[in-house]
Amino acid sequence: MAEPDAVQTFEDGLNEIRGAYGDALRGAKDEPELRLINGRYVGPQGELTKLLKLMPKLPADRRRELGQAANALKQEIQATFDAALHAIHRGAREAELTGPALDITLPGRWQMPGRLHPITRIRNEVLEIFLSLGFDIADGPEVELYENCFDKLGFPPDHPATDEHDTFFIQGNRSQDPESVLLRTQTSTIQIREMLKRQPPLAIVSPGAVYRRDDDATHSPMFFQLEGFLVDQDVTFAELKGVLTLFLRRLFDEHISVRFRASYFPFVEPGGEVDMSCVFCRAWEGDRGRTAACRVCKGTGWMEILGCGMIHPVVFENVGYDPEKYTGFAFGMGLDRIAMLKYGIPNIKLLYENDVRFLSQF
Amino acid sequence: MLVSYRWLQELCPVEADVAEVARRISLAGLEVESIEEKGHNLADVVVAEVRAKNPHPKRDNLTLVRVFDGEDELDVVCGASNVPEPGGRVLFARPGAVLPNGMEIAARKVGGVESSGMICSEAELAIGSDAEGIFVMAPDSEPLPGAPVAEALDLHDFILDVGLTPNRPDCLGHVGIAREIGVLFGVAYRPRKAAGPRKAFTAEAVFETSQPTIELAPLWDSVADLDDPPTLPEISVEIENGDRCPRYGAALVSGVRVAPSPFWLRYRLHNLGLRALSNVVDATNLILLEWGHPIHGFDLDHLRGSKVVVRLAKDGERMSTLDGVERTFSTDDLLICDGERPVAVAGVMGGLDSEIREETKDVLIECAYFDPRSIRRTSRRLGLHTDSSHRFERGVDPEAVPQVLASAAGLIAELGGGAVATTAIDRIASPREARTIRLRPSRAAQLLGTPVSAEESLRILKSLGCSIVEQGDAEIIAEPPSWRPDLQREVDLIEEVARVRGYDEIPTAVPRVHPSETGTPGLVKTVDALRDAAVTAGLYEAINYGFVSTEDLRKARVSTDAVRLANPLSEERAVMRTSLLPGLTGAAARAQRHGASAATLFEIARTFEPSGDALPCERTTLAIALAGQRRGWIGGADPFDVYDGKGVLAAILDRVFGRVPEVVPGEVPAFMHPKRSAVVTLESRPVGFVGEIHPDVADDLELIGRVVYAELDVAALYGLAEELGPPQAQGLPKFPAVTRDIAMLVREEYSAGEIAGALATASKGLAESVSLFDLYRGGQIPEGHRSLAFRVTYRDPEATLTDKQVDKVHASLAKVARDRFEATIR
């Protein structure tokens, strides 16, 4: 009868597999090879799988016992496999951790961000300071009426105060007529527009492009200004000084000195200009030799940075505010100039050439 | 304006060095832009006496001069033709001297003769403009040989360049600045004798219209030279337009001899940027620089009809001005005429015919006050900006007319050897209206934010020359001086108080700010967010000029119906841009010319379109240009194409609005590629376009290769943002998703987007997403077809999907693909 043979074959098979499996695995170099070898025993065509297919031929009384033995071998094999796999993983990790390093000098791989234009960058820096002080942003058109750019701001007709505002007029408009259309020469126009639209208290900053007919080494026919103003009851010159001093220290250096000089702009009275310590020779550090040799401040230790003043009562009258009730201050700055100072840009023309080699520096 | 520190000190001496004076006046509003020292750089240049003078042995045009420099006798070769006879004195640069122009003087041979030093001209020493001959000391001057030139000629000075604001015409002369220094240093300014051997006259002024003459009386050390002073001939002054010429004065100096001015005067003018011409002209210039009040000298012989008429020009009237240009006038131009014709453009420039010339004997001096606006209009119309118009258009001191006239007459007489007619004309056609201004010290304190007392206000106003009409603690009524047209209302006086006291004296304070309840306008926020997103997506921000040329617009095939400038700087910048395309692609083209491998640029700016209203329509647009190649990791690089444009827009819009845009076929501008561009929509609303630039346009714009361009309408996006509101959180899925792929062979004309959309619809809401994951052409794929593979993610939000459910839906998707798109499912 075949019965004892079947039992014998089965038992021999189990023993053979038990003996061979561990040795076979030891020859595996890596995980795929390990799995390949493993498959030879427990895969669909594997030795053990084939053996188990003999189960039905085993005598019924031995089947249970032999089945258990086969299961035990299966578990043994699984444990051996797990251990071998673990050893291979461990070995690979050890090899990675102790072996040669990756060439980390190869380039990084990601979409790099672009850059903001330096004027936008400085605009954002400036705005951030004023927003933190409670100012709002306002905007206005670049093509404007003469009256908003000059008349309402208190520029007297036929007055040399307009000399600094060599104006581009739109075709068909070249006079001082209030309805004349021009490119705004200053962002102060927004002062007028906002005051006509709203009632005090107002605290507003307005950056934007302005245009003047100057085009030489130090002037660009389009450039950027930022205008700010505060209107309320009892706004004082002392507060103007406080706000601008704070602003400049935050923007440049907390140690700089700031001084106010009398000056003239038709829409403010008293009017002033603001100087700060030269940021090129770092005048506040008191190195006299360095300051004396500074070509930017010409040895004075000061550089002009802002225009400012108390809003002229005539401006309030022009927008229908009562100048006895309200006072206010206004200031203006050239964002181009501030960007040039802060970022060491040597030539204003660079700002409008949009050379990628330049833009990528900010 | 250039100002001599020395002259200021003569007019108002203060104990402060030049740096301190400059600092103080700068802080008070007269900004000193630079200080230049004079007469300090002429070491080893001395006075020398000519001892002998012989022709050069070999060269005809040279002279061999033996000079005594106070120590030695030296032989010098000189090329000038005006070497004085022995005994005359010259300026001699010893060997070793370095001249202001950098020339080093050394002993050297000239034509075989040893020459030890150099005899100098004014120009070589930078003390004058005369380069014709050497400088010869006046015979009656004192300095002895060996005296350093700076001392011998009294050269030491500092020249300040003061940047004056247009509100301070009073400081357009040394007297005004000296007066200001007096105020700031607390020193009373008194007009006093300034440099030079000056005779001075004062005017017995009579400020009445009925009395058009004044007496000019000698002042200070002046002596009446003549027993019989000349009298003013019968000259009538008629002012036809009193509003344009409120006051006109004239004085006569007779018997002058026109000649070069003495050195002190020439040197002063030279340092202050004016060229010395002749004593009479130089005198008028010196008076201009001293008083800031332009005067004009007429040759009396060339004034016809014994008449001066001040009137408006007739339309088209002509006259040649001093600069030799014939000018045509309008009825808005004020002229000075004699009995027959115009002789000067009032306040701007004299006429050629009546100018002072060498043979002039009798000089009629004009000193007037003209309406500033009138002078400015004429000056602008003629394009003629002169030292005179500069002052008149800002407003000279009308009350200074008699004194300036007297001063000028005295100086001309002194320099030209003439005599002053002691009667002069002072015609007032329209008397100055004195104005009074109220100053409330309490208001000043309120505005400045620091206490201001009545006493201090009073002191400052008086020091400025204000007459006090009333004074009290609560208010002061003051009449500002005639030389301060800028003082018009209370706030002007408050500025004076603050300025004289010094802005530094005002403390700093922190204001109470009322932030608005609305905050930053949404459009501004949207622009900022788009800008940041564009940068994050890898783009570089460009800022272009708002104006371009019509040609730029034409080449770009964008609207040439543009806002045009009346007075552009050039045709290149003559119209306002109607599109950001020319500017941005211009930058891209430049980058390509520089050899950049990629230019990925964006700009957010306004375009301008004519509208029916006074002001054009300003539209804010975001434009993007991608030129060159997208860089792979190492080595790999592909040219940008429309999908890069689509991707960057998706990155930007997703960042700002949390939504990815759709790109759908639709109408795009003419400058875009007809087959490679499309409309961008967000939430089904069109917001812009993206694609490649039309190849013909790209050629015209000098772009290399395919350039991707996109625009988004910022206002439309902002409107959408307002509608969409902030992101709203969704619950996370509770049940697992199942993914299935569907691959198909389909003809090219069916777009992937169309198929994906149809598949999604067919899923009856079970497909969470349908995304293309493979695209293949060629190989086994028949011509005109492509293989597309989509991955469909199914999810039922309410339950776990069973395989059976998914199989069923997935089969329906395949059916749609077959039925609608003639697809072969693979």
Please give the torsion angle defined by the CA atoms of residues B352, B357, B360 and B362, in that order, rounded to the nearest 10 degrees. 50
Closest-CA distance of chain B to residue A155, Å? 11
A and B: number of Cβ contacts within 8 A: 260
Confidence band, pLDDT 50/70/90 cuts, at residue B228 = low
Q: Which of A107, A139, A242 sits opposite B524 (nearest CB)?
A: A139
Any residues with CB less than 8 A from the CB of B387 and at least 6 apart, and which?
B285, B288, B294
- Bridge partners of B548? B575
Query: From the CA of B156, how many Å to the nearest CA of chain A?
Result: 22
Which of B596, B605, B614 lies at the smallest CB-CB distance from A356? B596
| Gap between the Cα atoms of A305 and A296, Å rounded | 13
A70 and A159 housed in the same domain: no
Nearest-angstrom CA–CA distance, B380 and B378: 5
Q: What is the pLDDT of residue B227?
A: 58
- Do A151 and A223 reside in the same domain of the chain? yes
What was the pLDDT predicted at B203?
A: 67
Q: What is the rounded distance in angstroms from the CA atom of residue B365 to the CA atom of residue B296?
A: 6
Contact B544 A119 (CB under 8 A): no
- Could you tell me if residue A113 is inside a domain? no
Q: CB of B539 within 8 Å of any CB in chain A?
A: yes
Residues of B in contact with A264 (CB under 8 A): 29, 165-168, 486
Instruction: Please check the confidence at residue B206 and state whether its pLDDT lies above 70.
Output: no
What domains can you pick out in chain B, each with its CATH number?
45-155 (2.40.50.140), 194-428 (3.50.40.10), 437-504 (3.30.56.10), 522-724 (3.30.930.10), 738-825 (3.30.70.380)
| C-beta pairs of A67-72 under 8 Å, 24+ apart in sequence | A69/A11, A69/A14, A70/A10, A70/A14
CB contacts, 8 Å: A269 with chain B: 491-492, 494-495
Q: Exposed, middle or buried by CB within 10 Å (0-12, 13-18, 19+), for B482?
A: middle
Which among A117, A245, A312 has the least Cβ separation from residue B543?
A: A117
pLDDT for position B223: 45
The reply to whether A72 falls in a domain is yes
Please tell me which of A285-294, B413-422, B494-503, B659-668 the model is most confident about, judged by mean pLDDT. B494-503
- B361-419 residue pLDDT tens: 999 999 999 999 999 999 999 999 999 999 999 999 999 998 899 889 989 988 988 88
Given a cut of 60, is residue B224 above it in pLDDT?
Answer: no
The last residue of a domain, from among A37, A66, A98: A98
Q: In this predicted structure, which of B226-240, B540-554, B565-579, B623-637 has the lowest mean pLDDT?
A: B226-240
Indicate the average pLDDT of chain B. Answer: 92
Interatomic CA distance for residues B552 and B17, integer angstroms: 58
Residues A94 and A122 in one domain: no
Nearest residue to B63 (alpha-carbon basis) of B78, B51, B52, B49: B78
Distance, CA of B88 to CA of B381 (rounded, Å): 52
Interface of B with A in 359-418 (CB under 8 A): 372-373, 376-377, 390, 393-394
Calculate mean pLDDT across residues B578-586. Answer: 96
Strand, coil or helix: A344: coil
**Higher per-residue confidence, B723 vs B488:** B488
User: Is residue A251 in a domain?
Assistant: yes
Nearest CA-CA partner of B818 in B745, B740, B741: B745
Tell me the range of A10-24, B532-546, B727-741 where mean pLDDT is highest.
B532-546
A 10 A CB-CB count for B725 gives 7
Same domain, A43 and A169: no
pLDDT at B205 over 70: no
Name chain B contacts of A327, Cβ cutoff 8 Å.
446-447
Which residues lie below 8 Å from residue B157, measured CB to CB, with a gap of 6+?
B4, B5, B6, B7, B37, B38, B39, B271
Residue A10 and residue A130 in one domain:
no
Helix (H) or strand (E) holding A197: helix A189-197
**Tens-digit pLDDT profile for chain A (362 aa)?**
445 688 888 888 899 998 899 888 888 888 999 999 999 998 888 888 988 888 888 888 888 888 899 899 999 999 999 999 999 999 989 999 999 999 999 988 888 999 999 999 999 999 999 999 999 999 999 999 999 999 999 999 889 988 888 999 999 888 889 999 999 999 999 999 999 999 999 999 999 999 999 999 899 999 999 999 999 999 999 999 999 999 999 999 999 999 999 999 999 999 999 999 999 999 999 899 999 999 888 888 999 999 999 999 999 999 999 999 999 999 999 999 999 999 999 999 999 999 999 999 99
3-state DSSP call for residue B613?
Answer: coil
Q: Are residues A64 and A136 in the same domain?
A: no
How many CB atoms within 10 Å of residue B168? 23
Q: What is the pLDDT of residue A3?
A: 54
B573 touches chain A (CB under 8 A): yes
**CA pair distance B269, B267, nearest whole angstrom:** 5
Same domain for A140 and A81: no
Residue B531: DSSP 8-state: H
CB contact under 8 A, B521 and A163: no
Model confidence at B597: pLDDT above 80? yes
Q: Which domain holds residue A72?
A: 3-98
Using CA coordinates, name the residue in chain A closest to B535.
Answer: A114
For residue A206 the two structure tokens come to: 């307005």
Q: How many domains does chain A have?
A: 2
Residues A223 and A333 in one domain: yes
pLDDT of residue B197: 57
- How is B13-51 classified by DSSP, letter by letter? --S--HHHHHHHHHHTT-EEEEEEEES-S-TTEEEEEEE
Q: Is residue A130 part of a domain?
A: yes
Tell me what the mean pLDDT of segment B801-820 comes to. 94
Surface-to-core class of residue A236, CB atoms within 10 Å of its CB (0-12 exposed, 13-18 middle, 19+ buried): buried
- What pLDDT score was predicted for residue B195? 57
What pLDDT does B220 receive?
43
Q: Is residue A175 in some structural domain? A: yes
Q: What is the pLDDT of residue B194?
A: 57
Tokens of B442: 């309490």
Buried/exposed B379-398: b ≥16 CB within 10 Å, e otherwise: beebebebbbbbbbbbbbbb
- Measured distance CA(B644)–CA(B626) in Å, rounded: 8
Q: Is the pLDDT assigned to residue B28 strictly greater than 50?
A: yes
What are the tokens at A102? 């990756």
CB contact under 8 A, A114 and B540: yes
Element (H, E) at B785: strand B785-794
Domain co-membership, A65 together with A159:
no
Candidates A125, A143, A349, partner chain B, best to mutate (most B CBs within 10 A):
A143
Residue A73 lies in a domain: yes
pLDDT value of position B635: 80
Residues of A in contact with B532 (CB under 8 A): 116
Domain CATH code at residue A167: 3.30.930.10
Nearest by CB to A161, which of B166, B520, B605? Answer: B166
Please judge whether A235 and B511 are an interchain contact, meaning their C-beta atoms are less than 8 angstroms apart.
yes
Same domain for A246 and A334? yes
Angle at B202 between CA B199 and CA B204, to 5 degrees: 155
* CB atoms inside a 10 Å sphere around CB B219: 18
Amino acid making up residue B442: S
- Both A169 and A78 in one domain: the answer is no
Asked if A232 and B514 come within 8 Å (Cβ–Cβ), the reply is yes
ipTM attached to this prediction: 0.90
Query: For residue B576, which phi and psi values (nearest 5 degrees)?
Result: -80, 140
A134 and A85, same structural domain? Answer: no
What tens digit of pLDDT does each residue of B106-158 get?
A: 888 888 889 999 999 999 999 998 888 999 998 888 889 999 999 999 999 99
Distances (CA, A) of B86 to B94, B139, B148, B393: 19, 12, 20, 53
Of the candidates A98, A128, A156, which is a domain's last residue? A98
Query: Does residue A110 fall inside a structural domain?
Result: no
- The most distant pair of C-alpha atoms in chain B lies apart, rounded to whole Å, by 135
A112 is a domain residue = no
The verdict on B531 touching A (C-beta cutoff 8 Å) is yes
- The residue among A38, A70, A98 that closes a domain is A98
